[in-house]
Chain A
Amino acid sequence: NAGVTQTPKFQVLKTGQSMTLQCAQDMNHNSMYWYRQDPGMGLRLIYYSASEGTTDKGEVPNGYNVSRLNKREFSLRLESAAPSQTSVYFCASSPLRGGVGNTEAFFGQGTRLTVV
């Protein structure tokens, strides 16, 4: 009954370091997403993947890259971390494949990232 699993749960980076946030879902969903959550700003979409092999930019993609490794896994990479990337990152998945967005997204527990 895992759903969406994110690793790690917490991470502290120094400015300029790189890291990859991992996300996996076991619900056979087509779509996967990465969001960041900042105080007073809700969730903002970084990147999403509508299906295996495709990725698209969201609202705030700068400074990030993603890989849809297979249907289950969608990773988010910070190549050179900056303090502005301090945030809580959420991965989500949805069975949606094109068309009207009438199915919900399922969220992981989040990764709290601090860049010093």
Chain B
Amino acid sequence: GNSVTQMEGPVTLSEEAFLTINCTYTATGYPSLFWYVQYPGEGLQLLLKATKADDKGSNKGFEATYRKETTSFHLEKGSVQVSDSAVYFCALGYNFNKFYFGSGTKLNVKP
């Protein structure tokens, strides 16, 4: 079946630190991969996406590369800010309009 596994949080970093949130997936076929971000009290917002192997999605300094050989889509940012504190969800989109989400990783960035 299809599933997404992401690292458990919370992740606590100091401002300007490097961020990596690991995400691996299991899927048959060729899914698209997404990172969503959820700020407190809000719904999920798309952060970035990649639709095929070796694609790199990027937005607001965040990047993730679709690695088919390792079935991974790790999220990275070179220098986090306090405003990046949120919950991050890795997800895959597959046939018949279904999306599968990881359990979410909470990021806390301290000044």
Residues of A within 8 A of B (CB): 4, 31, 33, 35, 40-45, 48, 50, 56, 58, 90, 92, 94, 96-110
- Check A41 against B103 for contact (C-beta < 8 Å): yes
Chain B, residue nearest A97 (CB): B97
**Distance to closest chain B CB from A75 (angstroms):** 17
- Residues A101 and B32 in contact in the complex (CB < 8 Å), given A31-B97, A43-B89: yes
Q: What is the bound-complex CA distance between A44 and B39, given in angstroms?
A: 19
Q: What is the bound-complex CA distance between A105 and B103, given in angstroms?
A: 17
Q: Interface-forming stretch among B45-53, B67-75, B76-84? A: B45-53
**Distance to closest chain A CB from B33 (angstroms):** 10
- Main secondary structure, interface of B, reads strand
- Residues A42 and B101 in contact in the complex (CB < 8 Å), given A107-B45, A109-B42: yes
Interface string of B88-99 (1 = CB under 8 A from A): 010011111111
**Distance to closest chain A CB from B40 (angstroms):** 11
- Check A42 against B104 for contact (C-beta < 8 Å): yes
- Residues A90 and B44 in contact in the complex (CB < 8 Å), given A33-B99, A101-B31, A104-B49: yes
**A96: chain B residues within 8 A (beta carbon):** 93, 97
